[in-house]
Amino acid sequence: MIFDRNENKVVSVLLGAGSMGTAILRRVCAGTKILFGDISEKKLVEIKKEYQGYGYDVETQIVDANSKNSIEDFAKKAASLGDIKYYIHTAGASPNQASAEKIIKLDLIGSAYALDAFGKVIAKGGAGLLVSSQTGYMWPPLTPEEEIQIMTTPADNLAELPCLKKITNPGIAYIVSKKANYLQVQYAATHSWGQKGARINTISPGVIVTPLAFDEFNAAGEGYQKMIDATPAKRVGTPDEIGAAGAFLLSDAASYITGTDLLVDGGTIAALKNGKFKLTGLDD
């Protein structure tokens, strides 16, 4: 049975097929061709079956989000399917899943590769969204000089920056990578993406419960509990709440918003800045 006879559909792309990314995608992808990218073939098979079951037109591609070549191939695949209207990027690793080196390579450098690759193929009027984290607002701050370096250094050379090479603590690597995400998006918004007539933003979720997040909770449950208890909202967030906020940033209602970050954290960072709780485990 043919569910959609429309031709020349615009394309919605998601790299990193997790709960928050799909929650955003579901709100914007109706009537588009969807391209999912992920490192896991099993996950891609499952998500293609699920979304075809909802009546969507779906393609998939295995993508190594650490690899410049793999990401560029993914961008070429997306462009071959039609005009790319939406690009959503969620690929990343948490501090309890990877080393500092791996986190910087995937969360920071890999994101830079994706911004570059999709900045070349995004359609005029298109919009992108990089899912970052509230941790980008946490200690330690980068100096103004280091922020400029991260913004302007080509992705291929980022690993050689002194401010990144010295990091050995996975927690610090994660914080710096998430700060770097919206620095890089600010730069992309005024250069490659802006020159294409497209918008790009970041969204920084707080403590959001997803199936994969339980690894983090099990590894650092006490710290997360203190954070949740200190948060004005007095609870965790849900993928659907990130979905609603992310869909707004991609929508025409946000057509004058680009190069910015939306913090969706229930007030966690406000609580941190006001001393209701303190970060631990970041001494080295």
Q: What is the 3-state secondary structure (H, E, C) of 93-125?
A: CCCCCCCHHHHHHHHHHHHHHHHHHHHCCEEEE
Which residues are registered as beta bridge partners of 200?
128
Given the residues 105, 178, 179, 196, select the one marked as catalytic. 178
Q: Do you find a cis peptide bond into 140, omega within 30 degrees of 0?
A: yes
CA 181 vs. chain centroid, Å, equals 8
Which residue has 């509230």 as its token pair? 134
Q: Are 178 and 204 in contact (CB under 8 A)?
A: yes
- Residue 43 annotated to the active site: no
Between vectors from CA 75 to CA 28 and to CA 33, what angle results, nearest 5°?
35
Which one from 87, 174, 182, 187 is the annotated catalytic residue?
Answer: 174
Alpha carbons 25 and 232: distance in angstroms, whole number? 28
Evaluated on CA atoms 170, 165, 203, 60, the torsion sign reads negative
- Tell me which amino acid residue 44 is: L
Query: Among all chains, which residue has been given the structure tokens 């610090």?
Result: 172
From residue 55, alpha-carbon distances to 9, 88, 163, 266 in Å are: 14, 21, 47, 34
Q: Catalytic annotation on 174? A: yes
| The two structure tokens encoding residue 117 | 């690759």
- Tell me how far apart the alpha carbons of residues 141 and 209 are, in angstroms, rounded to a whole number: 26
Single-letter residue type at 231: T
Residues 6+ away with beta carbon under 8 Å from 158: 108, 109, 112, 150, 164
Catalytic residues: 174, 178
